[in-house]
Chain A
C-alpha cells in the first residue's frame, strides 16, 4: 500500500501527473487508490518521497550545499522513520557538495547499522564523479533501471 507521499501540492492528481519519480510513477500510482491523505510527511523543499511494500523512495532535486545539510539530513532520516526495510534515493537531478556527500555517507552508515538496504537510483553524473573521486562508489549500491527498482519491492 502506498503509505504516504510528499509533494509541494496537496492534490493527489498532482502526484500522479507530475510525479518527480517519473519512471517510477507507474509503480507508485498502482496503489494510489489506497492512498491515505492523512499520512503526509513534513514537506521539504527539495525532496518528495513515497513508500510502498516496505520500500521507501526518496526523490531529491537541485543543489545540496553546506547550508542545506541540516535539512538534507533531516529529510534522509525522515525516510527511515517510515520503518521500511529498503530506501531508494532518486538522485537523477542532484548536485551534491562534499559536505552533502558526507551526510550521505553518514546516512549509509546508519542504514548499514540497522541492517536496512540503501540504494541510489540513477545518480547524476556529478554525484557519480564525486563518489568515484572519493573512492566511495563501492560503498553504495546503484540501481540503473526501473526493473532493478521493481526487484526491490516486496511482493
Chain B
C-alpha cells in the first residue's frame, strides 16, 4: 500500500475562502489566499510506502494500493525520483478529475474584490469583472474585462483593460503629501496601473500609468500621470496631468483643455529616471524635515540628545546615500539629453492654449488654439510645425 503525501493543500477551494487572522488579533479582509502559486520544478506530491506514514497522519483518500501517480497537465514525474510529482510550469495547482494539475492562466470569473482579496499570481490573470476599489493585483500578464477602480494593478508583461480605469481624484492629489509623510506603506495611495511591457485601455481618469513598453489609450486620458518607456498613443483627448515620455507621443483628438487645466508633456529624458528622481527628491525633502526636527529636539538637553542620537545618525546616513543617488540620476539625465532631438509630439487634432511642453532643455507653452501640428526640439528650443500640406 502507498500513501500520496501532498506539498500543497489538496482540499483548497477558491470559493470557500475566509479572512485570515492577523497576529495582532485583527482580521485581514484583503488577503484571503485566493490562489496556490507553484513554480516550475517545485515538488507537489510524493508517493511513499504507507508503513512510513504515522496512522494519525493518514488521510484515507490518499491511500492507494497501486504505485500510480495522478499526474495531470503541466505536471511531470521527477526524473531522479519517480515517486515525486513536480510542476512543469509556473501557475496554480489544483485537483482536476482526480489528477494533480497546474494551470498557467488564472481566471477570476467575477470581480476582484472582497471575495478574492488581493491577488498575487506568477502566471497570467484574466479578471472577468472589475478590479474593485482598494484591491491589488500582481501577475505576469493581466487582462481586466471590466473597469479598474481605485486600485493597484501590476503586470510583469502586458496589461490590458477593456472598460477603462478611473481613480479617486482626492487620493490622487494626496499622493505627494502621503509620500512626504512616508505613510504609504500599508495603504494604496491611488490608482496605479503598471506594465513591464505594453498597456492598452479605453480611457483613464485620475490614475497613474507606468509602462516600459507602449501605451495605447483608445479614448481619452484625463488628469493622469503617465510614465512611458516607449510610445504613447491617445486616440481621444490628452487633458490635464503630466506625461513623461522619451520617444513619440501621438494625440489624435485634442491636447489640453478649454478650462485652463494644466497639461504637461515632458520628453527627452527616460521616464522612469524621472520617477526615481521624484521619489529621491521627495524623500530628501522628508528627511531634511526630520533632521531639523531631531536636531531641535537634541539641542534641548542631554537626555533628548541621547534619545535622538541614533535617529539623527540614520537620517544623515540616508541623506548622504540619497545625495549620491541624486547625482547619479542627474548624470544619466545629461546622457539622455542627447536623444531629446529625436522626440516628437504629434497632434493631428487640436492643441489648446495652456499646454506646457518640455523637450530636453527646451520649453514651450501654447497660447493659441492650433491643429495638426508636431512639436520637436531644435537648437535647444521646442518648436511647432504644421503638418498641413500647403495647397
Residues of A within 8 A of B (CB): 27, 30-31, 54, 66, 69, 80-83, 85-86, 98-99, 101-102, 105-106, 108-110, 112-117, 134-136, 138-139, 145-147, 150-151, 153-155
Contact = CB atoms under 8 A, between A and B. Distances in A.
B86 A98 contact: yes
Given A102-B39, A113-B31, A150-B321, A30 B118 contact: no
Contacts of B313: 30
Contacts of A116: 185-186
- Most chain B beta-carbon contacts within 10 A, residue among A30, A85, A102: A102
Interface stretch (B22-30, B47-55, B167-175, B217-225): B22-30
Contacts of B31: 110, 113-114
Interface of A is mostly: helix
B318 interface: yes
Contact of A69 (B7, B136, B187, B311): B7
Interface string B115-155: 00111111000000000000010101000000000000000
Contact residues on B (Cβ < 8 Å of other chain), bracket = 35 or more
Contacts of A69: 7
B41 interface: yes
Contacts of A27: 314
A84 to B, nearest CB: 10
A81 B20 CA distance: 13
Interface of B: 7, 22-24, 28, 30-33, 35-43, 86-87, 90, 117-122, 136, 138, 140, 156, 182, 185-188, 196, 283, 287, 290, 310-311, 313-315, 317-318, 321-322, 324-325
Contacts of B136: 112, 115
Contact of A31 (B187, B196, B310): B310
A145 B87 CA distance: 34
B33 A105 contact: no
A101 B185 contact: no
Contacts of B87: 102
B43 A112 contact: no
Nearest to A147: B321
Contacts of A31: 310
Contact of B32 (A113, A138, A145): A113
B23 A115 contact: no
A112 B30 CA distance: 10
B90 A113 contact: no
Contacts of A135: 90, 140, 156
Q: Which 5 A-B pairs have the closest CB atoms?
A: A113-B31, A147-B321, A98-B41, A109-B120, A102-B42
Given A83-B23, A112-B120, A134 B28 contact: no
A106 B117 CA distance: 15
Contact of A115 (B39, B121, B187, B322): B187
- Most chain A beta-carbon contacts within 10 A, residue among B28, B33, B41: B41
Contacts of A54: 185
B24 A83 contact: yes
Contact of A134 (B40, B117, B121, B188): B40
Given A109-B120, A135-B90, A98 B42 contact: yes
